[in-house]
Chain A
Amino acid sequence: MKRRKFLKSLLALLGSTTLVSFAYPLVRFIAPPSKKAEVKRLSLSKGDIPAGEAREVVFNNTPAIVINRPGKGYIALSKVCTHLGCLVEFNKEKARLICPCHAGEFSLDGKVLSGPPPKPLTEFPLRVEGESIIIG
């Protein structure tokens, strides 16, 4: 009886060790390698974006939009909707960014105006130097 008990515990021990020693590699294997986003600057010329217009760019792999807000200057926003990741579209007439997926609407500052998105669009740092707009 003692012997059986010993064998049972040994089996449990070896079994769980085997299981655990594969669980960790598996998790690491499936999870994507975390890569540091290399911050690369992007520069545009002011002439590209007249007042009230917008221009689409890709900034550090993220689809983004640079808007020239009448009276408020330039802003660079991520186009990735904070609801479920569709890309918002610039609507000039309404002066809004509208998501085609679940009708989320954002102001040109990136603030949520209506719909399900929980937070504002991500804003990227932007500054104007002479005739160029520098993002990043």
Chain B
Amino acid sequence: MWRRIKKGLEVRIGLEDLVNTKLKRYTVPRNTNIFYTLGGVALAAFIIQALTGFFLLIYYVPHSDHAFRSVQQIMTSVPFGWLFRLMHVVGANLIVAVVFLHMLSVFFMGSYKKPRELTWIAGWLMLLVVLTFSLSGNLLPWSQLSYWTTTVVTAMPTAFPYVGDYIANVLRGGEFVSGVTLNRFFALHVALLPPVFVLFLVVHIFLIRRIGLSSPPFGEQTAGSGEWNEYRHVSYPDGYSFYPYFVLKELYMVLAYLVVMFFVITFVPTLFLPQGANIPADPLKTPAYIKPQWYFLAPYQMLKLIPNKFLGISIQLLLLAMFILWPFFDTGRERNILKRPLLLVAFLASLLLWIVLTVWGRTS
């Protein structure tokens, strides 16, 4: 049976040639390390979100009068509803961690440098989409946590004179967060963001395949270094085949991702569902314990520390723009960060600052 299908495909689309040229003869450098799998893990994590999100849609009711109850029902009376909801909630947090790690490793290995600037930017756009997924999804359970974190986030534009209030009103569909906001965010979360994400993903992967994977800049120099004045494909004639070697490595890491996910679901199921997540939204009462998700704690703490609204938010936007456009500032040819003490110190210092702000935001 299987052989007949294979034969049929071979005759019609040249299956073997396709597999040979696109998967087997497509090679990755021999010195790829474990961090090269993180992009693939992020992709798998996204697919898990899409699937579990679809399952939740079957029972979720996108209306401010019913949303909270429908989510409680998914948790308590729908058979295995808790499983898919927790996978979606825990996955939403883990995917951010994976994408952060992917970005850090790409940065550390200098892979963002010419000719891969656009790959870096496409990656950043995906990160921004992931964060927007998180912000919009966060409102959907219509809990106290949902309501007040959304209030704060949608008020951010008001730091800017003239247009700020208008933008905030458009985001919320009114002066305050309300059922109108819920419907807007729902539409965003399930109908707009997924295709936008896939679009950036296609660009990201296209660029990676078109340019060729970079090799780690440590140890003896390999292909991809040197002057880059015209297009060429970076290939590794003596490298490992993408399939099966690299794909297997990726699969191991995807399974490791699932292990972490199910560990959290089994032993600390409320890790990402703090106090305010189990109380229905009350527009007349801001609870004292509202904290954003862990990956927004650093910017949150910064907002608290900078005693000026306009400055606090502008600095964050500037930092963001700097990170996104970093490959265009950092144009030197040296890719090995270990040979660039200044950058290494700046990198470690920023990382440390981020961790300190996060812990501080958590505990203060």
For chain B, residues 187 to 207, give those with C-beta under 8 angstroms from any C-beta of chain A: none
Contact A102 B303 (CB under 8 A): yes
A31 within 8 A of B: yes
B290 within 8 A of A: yes
B181 to chain A minimum Cβ distance, whole angstroms, is 10
Residues of B within 8 A of A53 (CB): none
Contact B304 A102 (CB under 8 A): yes
Contact B309 A83 (CB under 8 A): yes
Residues of B within 8 A of A100 (CB): 286-288, 290
A86 within 8 A of B: yes
A56 to B152, CA, bound (A): 21
Residues of A within 8 A of B154 (CB): 85
Contact B306 A86 (CB under 8 A): no
B156 within 8 A of A: yes
Contact B152 A31 (CB under 8 A): no
Which of A56, A84, A114 is close to B156, meaning CB atoms less than 8 Å apart?
A84
A77 to chain B minimum Cβ distance, whole angstroms, is 15
Which of A85, A87, A103 is close to B284, meaning CB atoms less than 8 Å apart?
A87
A89 to chain B minimum Cβ distance, whole angstroms, is 7
Contact B308 A58 (CB under 8 A): no
A15 within 8 A of B: no
Residues of A within 8 A of B290 (CB): 86, 100-101
Which partner residue on chain A sits nearest B151 by CB separation? A85
Which partner residue on chain A sits nearest B153 by CB separation? A84
Chain A: interface size category: 20 to 34
B176 within 8 A of A: yes
| A118-B286 CB under 8 A given contacts A84-B155, A85-B155, A86-B152 | no
A30 to B167, CA, bound (A): 11
Which partner residue on chain A sits nearest B307 by CB separation? A116
A58 to B285, CA, bound (A): 12
A130 within 8 A of B: no
A63 within 8 A of B: yes
Which of A58, A86, A114, A117 is close to B286, meaning CB atoms less than 8 Å apart?
A86
| A31-B170 CB under 8 A given contacts A100-B286, A100-B290 | yes
A132 to chain B minimum Cβ distance, whole angstroms, is 23
For chain A, residues 51 to 80, give those with C-beta under 8 angstroms from any C-beta of chain B: 56, 58, 61, 63
Per-position 1/0 for B297-313, Cβ under 8 A of A: 00010011011111010
A115 to B305, CA, bound (A): 8
A125 within 8 A of B: no
B117 to chain A minimum Cβ distance, whole angstroms, is 29
Residues of B within 8 A of A114 (CB): 307
| A61-B175 CB under 8 A given contacts A102-B304, A117-B309 | yes
Residues of B within 8 A of A85 (CB): 151-152, 154-155, 158, 176
Which partner residue on chain B sits nearest A115 by CB separation? B307
Residues of B within 8 A of A32 (CB): 169-170, 172-174, 180
A55 to B57, CA, bound (A): 41
| A87-B286 CB under 8 A given contacts A61-B176, A102-B304, A116-B306 | yes
A133 to chain B minimum Cβ distance, whole angstroms, is 20
Residues of B within 8 A of A87 (CB): 284-286
B142 within 8 A of A: no
B14 within 8 A of A: no
> Which residues does A use to contact B, with CB under 8 Å?
30-32, 56, 58, 61, 63, 83-87, 89, 99-103, 114-118
27 A-B residue pairings within 8 Å (CB atoms): A32-B172, A32-B173, A56-B284, A61-B176, A83-B155, A84-B151, A84-B152, A84-B155, A84-B156, A84-B309, A85-B154, A85-B176, A86-B286, A87-B284, A89-B288, A99-B286, A100-B288, A100-B290, A102-B300, A102-B304, A115-B307, A116-B304, A116-B306, A116-B307, A116-B312, A117-B309, A118-B310
Query: What would 6 more interface pairs be, CB under 8 Å, given A56-B284, A85-B158?
Result: A31-B170, A83-B309, A84-B152, A116-B308, A116-B309, A118-B310
